[in-house]
């Protein structure tokens, strides 16, 4: 019996070392070498201080800022520790009622989907240019600038599809709001 237990223990230790230590360290090292910014969370820094991430949205809710899409992370919007989908099907009554109420709250009859629905993770940092355009007047008024100035900033930060074909145009809300703060600071 000892002749069977000993190889099992040795293989368990060996495979644990390879799959639990060596492989993760090798992949982490390769990621750090090839893609250091992404491997470290795609952090956005201003004057050496991390203010956010390109990958995780933040909750902006004052009139002078562009707002992100709704978050599905519960009472604390954009809480990465609570990332989860809403688990409501597209034909579910709860989703239909929530979206209808959100559309009514905008005061418009037609709105972009990302203005009233959450992303799969509830943390998406991007909105569509259409949703951003819907917010132009509010942001320009709150900042006391012409809409055309805010439109120009929006155009500058709008990301195009990768290689012109993969994905859709999108706007990182944190980067847009940072560009606004730089070009047209909010008056206190």
Domain that holds residue 22: 1-40
Q: Is residue 6 part of a domain?
A: yes
Cβ-proximal residues to 111 (8 Å cutoff; 6+ apart), any chain:
103, 131, 134
Q: Is residue 51 part of a domain?
A: yes
Are 169 and 100 in a shared domain? yes
Are 139 and 54 in a shared domain? yes
Are 55 and 33 in a shared domain? no
Cβ-proximal residues to 185 (8 Å cutoff; 6+ apart), any chain:
143
3-state SS, residue 123: coil
Give the pLDDT of residue 156: 96
Distance CA 154, CA 185 (A): 15
Are 70 and 159 in a shared domain? yes
CA angle in degrees (0–180, nearest 5) for 160-166-171: 30
Cβ-proximal residues to 50 (8 Å cutoff; 6+ apart), any chain:
43, 44
* 134, two tokens: 């819907």
Are 54 and 101 in a shared domain? yes
Distance CA 166, CA 69 (A): 21
pTM: 0.79
Are 50 and 34 in a shared domain? no
Are 78 and 9 in a shared domain? no
Are 133 and 179 in a shared domain? yes
Give the pLDDT of residue 85: 63
Are 101 and 120 in a shared domain? yes
- For the chain (188 residues), the mean pLDDT of every run of 10, in chain order, is 87 95 94 88 86 88 92 78 72 84 84 85 89 94 93 96 92 95 82
Q: Is residue 188 part of a domain?
A: no
Are 139 and 90 in a shared domain? yes
Are 110 and 36 in a shared domain? no
Are 59 and 112 in a shared domain? yes
Domain count, the chain: 2
Q: Is residue 148 part of a domain?
A: yes
């Amino acid at each position: 019996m000892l002749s069977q237990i000993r190889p099992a223990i040795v293989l368990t230790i060996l495979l644990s070392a390879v799959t639990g230590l060596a492989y993760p360290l090798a992949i982490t090292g390769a990621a750090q070498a090839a893609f250091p910014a992404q491997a470290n969370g795609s952090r956005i820094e201003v004057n050496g201080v991390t203010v956010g991430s390109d990958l995780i949205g933040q909750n902006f809710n004052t009139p002078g800022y562009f707002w992100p899409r709704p978050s599905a992370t519960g009472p604390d919007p954009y809480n990465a520790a609570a990332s989860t989908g809403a688990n409501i099907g597209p034909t579910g009554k709860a989703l239909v009622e929530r979206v209808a109420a959100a559309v009514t709250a905008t005061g418009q009859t037609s709105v972009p989907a990302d203005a009233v629905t959450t992303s799969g993770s509830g943390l998406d940092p991007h909105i569509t240019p259409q949703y951003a355009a819907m917010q132009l007047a509010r942001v320009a008024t709150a900042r006391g600038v012409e809409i055309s100035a805010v439109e120009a900033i929006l155009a500058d930060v709008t990301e195009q599809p990768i290689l012109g074909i993969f994905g859709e145009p999108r706007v990182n809300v944190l980067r847009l709001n940072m560009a606004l703060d730089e070009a047209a600071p909010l008056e206190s």
